[in-house]
Every structure is written in structure tokens, then in C-alpha cells.
Amino acid sequence: MACVLQCLAACILPAVVAVRSKADLPAAEGSPKVYRTTGLDLVKNAWPGAAFEAAQEWPKEIRDQILDDIQEHVMNSPGEHRTNLELLTPGCAKQVLALYEDIIRRCRLRNKAAGISQGDLQLRTSAWYPFTWGGDLGASEKPEFQIGLQMERQWLDALAYSEKEAILWAGFWEGESSGRATKEALFQFADLLDRQTVHPGTELGQLVEKHDGLDQCSYQRAHERELLQNFWTWASASFVRGMVRHGQESIVAFVNKDVEGPRALSKSVLAQCEIPSIGQMSLFARSWTPHVVLVDLKGTCNVTSPFLQRRLVSQSMLGFRSKSSVVRTIGGIKWSCVDCSESDGCTLDASLAEFLKAELAVQK
């Protein structure tokens, strides 16, 4: 449900414009341009209705619409029933079942290593919840859901934990024509930063990659869309919880997509679930205010940055009514966007790695 609510918020809240912070500095010759936004400006840019300085609460019509849509979604929650594999296409069902079985095998191994005995039926039942209940597993008081939540926190989250500080990405694939945005180029660059991608760098990421990212399931088919939204909401929340446990002070995200159009950023897991999970986690771990650094390989920070900022803030807007609560929650978050276009000669190389390390150090 969380991912659906985040999508809803993005539709309701007005578009924002890129804000150039006072902290922005002219780029040195040959260096990428970087645009910085404070946490306070993140909130200001996405605040609906009246002027930010005058408003103390969300406009009533905005909250009423959000609450109506929440209620409608809860009444039809996919978490209330088991996934009906017969409603999935054969290719999608095959990938989902294979990933499900792999998750069970990994959890069995962790149980055995920890000396914990868990019934096979309970394990198999609980392992369905990432697909049928997603990021809102804890929203139900039903005992079976609470068992699933306990399993998620103890064992499934461990699959999403990265040994190094994690990075996020969207729009990289093997065979990308320029060679700038292949997965291999991204993974090698992660090594230069001494970081790792959450997928496939973590155990969970490796399992998802093994089954081709569930690419046989389509958002165009209702039952598969629900399954994908649930799974990626859960997985994204697990990845971000891993960042909090790691004490990760900064998150670097690489983007090589247009906001709309073919393979749109707006439809990506990064935009739909991962970036909003950062905002959501700031609600529950209030001392965690990371510095988010977006690297745009298309050189379109003026478009991608405000769009993803709105995705991050939307979850905080749904969570709190008062302006002061929202500011207090995410006001410490810092945001930078680095234009790294091919026309400017920018690529994932050692010089960019040093540039990003310097940016991360300046903003600490």
C-alpha cells in the first residue's frame, strides 16, 4: 500500500521547480555542475495550496482526498488474500515462484545457522507477505501478519543488508549503446566509490537479478502490477532500513532515464519505491537525515531533481499534518544533483568519483 500511496501523493501534489541553493558554487572548469537543495527547501517546493510561510496545516481538500483514497485502497488491499498464480502469465508466475523458493531457502539457512526452529508451513506462509502485503505488513493486527512482520525484520531484512554503503540506480542495462550506462560500468564505478549497489550487491538483490528482476511481470496487468508494487515496496524499505542500520550518512543515486516516455523514470522502482522509502524512514529514524546525491547522466537535473525530491517528501506529507512536524522530520536532509551529460564529456570514471567524494565531504 505504501508504494500506491506514494504514487497517489505524486499525482495530487503540484509539480515543483528546481531551486538553486545559496550553497551552489560555480563549477570549476571541466567539472560537472552541481545543484544543492536544503531539507527546508525540499518541503517548501512540495507544499500544496497556500504559501509555505502562511500555512500551518495541509489544506483540508488535500487531506480529505488522500484519506478517501487510503480508505478505498485498504478495502481492496491485495494483502488480504494469497497471490492467485493462475491470474499471472506463465512467465511471471515462473519467476515469482522461483524467487519465492529461493527466499525460503535462504531463510532456512539463516534459521539453521542461528539455531532457530521454524515450521515449514509458517515459513512458507510468511514468505508470501512481501508479494501480497508489501511494505505495509505491520499495518494489520492479525496474528499471521505479525508473524510475517517478525520474520521480515529478523531474516528477510538481513538479505537486503549491504556490507558497504549502498547506492541506488535506474536506467542502466547491458548493451546500452554509448557504453556510459551499462550495468558493468556502474558496478565498476561503485568500486571506485567503495560502495555497492543494493541490487545485485546484496543477497536479496542477487536473488532478484537471478530471476531477471521479475521482468516477465507487467505493470500493465492488474494482478501483476499489485504483486510488483508490493514486492518492490517491501524490498525498497528493507534496503533503506539496511542503510539506517549501517549508519549511512549519504546516499548516491544514478539516473539515466527521462521522467516520462519509454522506460520512464516515473515508472521506475527508484522513483516509485526507493526514494520514497528514504522519506518514510526519516519518519521512524528521526536522527537519520542523509545527504542524497543524484547523478543525472542525461544532464537534466532541472527536471529529474525536482521530480525525485517530490517523491521523497510525499511520504512525510502523508505522515504528518502540521508544517512544523514535516520540517522537523526531514529538514535535516540535504540534496545535491550533479549534471553528468555525455555532451559535457562526463562519464563514470575516476575523476567523477573524486568529484563525488569531495561533494560528499563538503556537505557533511
Better-scored residue on pLDDT, 183 or 57: 183
pTM of the model: 0.81
Percent of the chain with pLDDT strictly greater than 90: 37
Q: Which of 235-244, 321-330, 335-344 has maximum average pLDDT? A: 335-344
- Residue pair 155/149 in contact (Cβ under 8 Å)? The answer is no
Q: Is the pLDDT of residue 78 over 90?
A: no
- Check whether 30 has a pLDDT greater than 90: no
**Whole-angstrom Cα distance, residue 198 to residue 19?**
29
Between residues 95 and 75, the one the model is more confident about:
95
Cα–Cα nearest to 273, from 231, 327, 306, 305 = 231
Task: Indicate the number of domains in the chain.
Answer: 1
Task: Identify the residue with better confidence: 1 or 113.
Answer: 113
pLDDT, mean of residues 95-99: 94
Mean pLDDT of 209-223: 92
Q: How far is CA 36 from CA 18, 51, 295, 314, 363, in A?
A: 10, 22, 12, 19, 10
Residue 292 near residue 334 (C-beta atoms within 8 A): yes
User: What's the pLDDT score for residue 43?
Assistant: 74
CB 334 within 8 A of CB 38: yes
Q: Mean pLDDT highest for which of 66-80, 121-135, 167-181?
A: 167-181
Please check whether residue 174 is in contact with residue 183, taking contact to mean a CB–CB distance below 8 angstroms: yes
Which domain covers residue 171, as residue numbers? 2-362
